[in-house]
Amino acid sequence: MSFNYPKNEKLKSKISIGLLFSEGKSVSKYPLRLVYHSGYLAENEKIKMGVSVSKKNFKKAVDRNRFKRILRETYRLNKHILLDNLDKPYAFMFFYQTKERLSYEEINTKTIQLFEKFVAQNSKKESSEKEDELDK
């Protein structure tokens, strides 16, 4: 298993980010939020991830950058939860949404819970879509 966060997994495209905010769905586990949208990635790409920390909650760039580093690290270590359960490509945006300064361990635990909640939510949708196709 590879615990890396290569350049081709970073969400940078303005078009993809725009699609996330206009057509994306979200799942939350306080204080984290994951906005996602399926499709629109290159054939060899399975996942794209971006992170964001609000300037409203943390005025100093030093603080925002610290939490972005923590979010990227927790994603890097736990992305196997997503990759093992995805059957189509997804673009994600990962948000830290509180003024509280949680520890790395707390954020890591919440990240795992958030990814598991996303997988549970989407496996239900995919199975119901497959059942609908079989009924036709």
Question: Residue 126: is it exposed, middle or buried by C-beta count within 10 angstroms (0-12/13-18/19+)?
Answer: middle
pLDDT at position 118, please? 94
Q: Determine the Cα–Cα distance for residues 120 and 90; give it in Å rounded to an integer.
A: 15
Q: What is the mean pLDDT of each run of 10 residues along the chain (136 residues)?
A: 84 88 93 89 82 96 96 94 88 94 96 95 70 59
Count of CB atoms situated within 10 Å of the CB of 129: 10
pLDDT at position 16, please? 86
pLDDT at position 105, please? 96
Q: Determine the Cα–Cα distance for residues 121 and 55; give it in Å rounded to an integer.
A: 30
